[in-house]
Amino acid sequence: MASDFRMPGNVKFGVGAHKNLPEEIEKYSPTKIAIVSDKGVANAGLVKKLENILEQTGVPIFTFTEIVGEPTFKLVETVTHKLREENCDLVIGIGGGSALDVAKTAAALLAQEKIAHFLSGREQIGPRSTPCILLPTTSGTGSEVTMNAIFGDEEQGLKRGIVSPALLPDLAIIDPELTVSCPARVSASSGVDAFTHAIESYISVRGTPLTKIFAEKAMRLFPKYITRAVHNGTDLESRTGMAWVSALAGVSLANAGVGAVHALAYPLGGKFHIEHGVANALLMPYVFEKIGKTCTDELVEVASFLQLGDYSQHPNKALDAVVHYLLELLDTLNLPSTLKELGIPEDSLPALAESASKVDRLLANTPYKLTEEAIKEIYENAYFGKVGVLVK
Ligand SMILES: NC(=O)c1ccc[n+]([C@@H]2O[C@H](COP(=O)([O-])OP(=O)(O)OC[C@H]3O[C@@H](n4cnc5c(N)ncnc54)[C@H](O)[C@@H]3O)[C@@H](O)[C@H]2O)c1
């Protein structure tokens, strides 16, 4: 089967890169610019920073910052109508994955009639006619380089992804300076989320030598920078390292897909509003404990990328080493390690398993067929903090 490999038209990377925006937007000759962001990013002063820079262009700006928490399909529809009413013809998204997913989806839907059809997944969106520029402020979801967007489906109590090349921006401006104000907890959860993208896409059945180059580099850089970036947010070198991790892992995720960790995280986000990165970080050790035996060779490589040791002579031990590393990471970064800690009711685990077992699009990428029963077992282990390969 043939595989595609897609990235945004241009990725501009560097400290201070956001200051190039005026030259960049000239290429599109916009008559009205939409800035899409969220409340937290606006409160950190980042939206004002962009507005000040864009003022030099003289192009009118409409700013939307009413995103609070992780976005829903309903919100995307509202934002799309708003940008259409305002006649915006260039969309700039600035923020974490929440703001970027809304910005790029609204840009793709601006010229489309049947918004609900695309959002329900009945039809693929595209092609996009409104130019779109994305600037991430977390490291991160990699949304600025992916053709995916994830939204809460309030009716079904689930999160659901939509995928279309129309969701790749024309330009991603990755400026580590914009992540300096990112709070420690978000730096930790979104940083481990990026690692989840790298490891899940690395073992994905859709992975190719090309996607693995990106995932491998992300995993090699991750342990050098994650702790520093979380505990010393103003350290620009580690913020830059994590910005690369996020972008590299995002490219791999966009082309190879993620798997069971994400599938199990979706109902936690949809039903209990657990942040995406927190849910992924917490579930990752428990999911890998269950599926790891089917990707032993890859885990020997992952252990080597993370500098955990050479397990080539003892491949079965690589799984223990990786799971142990992931659990320690939660501790070092002050992230929760059990569902109990998060206040998830124990009697909700069967319903969570039923929901997760329906996320076929992602479960199909994992090299192990997880039954609903096996998924329930993973949630139970994650609830009590039970890890079988090692004693925690
Ligand atoms: N499109 C994709 O490929 C993809 C991949 C993974 C996750 N996601 C989605 O992304 C969302 C999660 O994104 P996230 O982890 O980046 O977090 P986020 O965008 O939800 O942001 C979390 C919080 O951090 C604040 N924040 C972000 N950057 C900041 C900064 N520099 N300074 C101060 N505050 C800042 C935000 O205001 C928000 O309150 C979820 O909805 C998830 O489903 C998308």
Give 245 or 388, the one with higher predicted confidence. 245
Q: Could you give the CA distance from residue 357 to residue 371 in angstroms, rounded to a whole number?
A: 7
Ligand 1 pocket test: pick from 101, 145, 173, 234 the residue with the most ligand atoms within 8 Å of its Cβ.
101
Ligand 1 geometric centre to CA of 59 (Å) = 28
Task: Give the ligand 1 atom nearest the CA of 189.
Answer: 15
Task: Give the ligand 1 atom nearest the CA of 68.
Answer: 39
Give 44 or 369, the one with higher predicted confidence. 44
Q: What is the mean pLDDT of residues 105-124?
A: 83
8 A C-beta contact, residue 119 and residue 76: yes
Which residue in 217, 175, 210 sits closest to 194, CA to CA? 217
Ligand 1 geometric centre to CA of 217 (Å) = 22
Amino acid in the structure at residue 320? D
Q: What is the mean pLDDT of residues 85-92?
A: 98
Tens of pLDDT, residue by residue over 328-363, are: 999 999 999 999 999 999 999 999 999 999 999 999
Which residue in 359, 102, 139 sits closest to 249, CA to CA? 139
Amino acid in the structure at residue 193? D
Q: What is the mean pLDDT of residues 189-209?
A: 98
Which residue in 163, 220, 223, 216 sits closest to 191, CA to CA? 223
The region, left, alpha or beta by phi > 0 then psi within -120 to 50, assigned to residue 69 is: left
Looking at residue 113, its pLDDT comes to 76
125 has a pLDDT exceeding 70 = yes
Q: 157-161, 223-227, 311-315, 346-350: which range is least confident on average?
A: 157-161
Q: 107-121, 178-192, 279-293: which range is least confident on average?
A: 107-121
DSSP letters for 344-383: --GGGHHHHHHHHTT-HHHHTTSSS---HHHHHHHHHHHH
Task: Give the ligand 1 atom nearest the CA of 277.
Answer: 15
Looking at residue 226, its pLDDT comes to 98
Provide, rounded to the nearest whole percent, the portion of the chain with pLDDT above 90: 90
Amino acid in the structure at residue 163? V
| Res. 389 pLDDT band, cuts 50 70 90 | low
Q: What is the mean pLDDT of residues 271-299?
A: 95
391 has a pLDDT exceeding 70 = no
Which pair of structure tokens corresponds to residue 3? 């595989």
392 has a pLDDT exceeding 50 = no
8 A C-beta contact, residue 233 and residue 184: yes
| Res. 258 pLDDT band, cuts 50 70 90 | very high
Q: What is the mean pLDDT of residues 83-107?
A: 97
Q: What is the mean pLDDT of residues 14-27?
A: 97
Give 123 or 332, the one with higher predicted confidence. 332
Amino acid in the structure at residue 30? P
| Res. 121 pLDDT band, cuts 50 70 90 | confident
Which domains does the chain carry?
Answer: 10-179 (3.40.50.1970), 184-384 (1.20.1090.10)
8 A C-beta contact, residue 277 and residue 226: no
Ligand 1 geometric centre to CA of 152 (Å) = 14
Ligand 1 geometric centre to CA of 392 (Å) = 30
Ligand 1 geometric centre to CA of 291 (Å) = 28
| Res. 100 pLDDT band, cuts 50 70 90 | very high
Ligand 1 pocket test: pick from 18, 41, 175, 193 the residue with the most ligand atoms within 8 Å of its Cβ.
41
Q: Which residues are near ligand 1 (CB < 6 Å)?
A: 38, 40-41, 44, 70, 95-99, 101, 137-138, 140-143, 146, 148-150, 159, 178-179, 181-183, 186, 190, 193, 276-277
Looking at residue 111, its pLDDT comes to 87
Ligand 1 geometric centre to CA of 187 (Å) = 10
Q: What letter does residue 22 receive in the DSSP assignment?
A: H
Tens of pLDDT, residue by residue over 146-198, are: 999 999 988 877 888 899 999 999 999 999 999 999 999 999 999 999 999 99
Per-residue burial over 348-372, b if 16 or more Cβ lie within 10 Å, else e, is bbeebbebbbebebbbebbebebee
Looking at residue 126, its pLDDT comes to 79
CB atoms within 10 A of CB 328: 12
Q: What is the mean pLDDT of residues 254-271?
A: 96
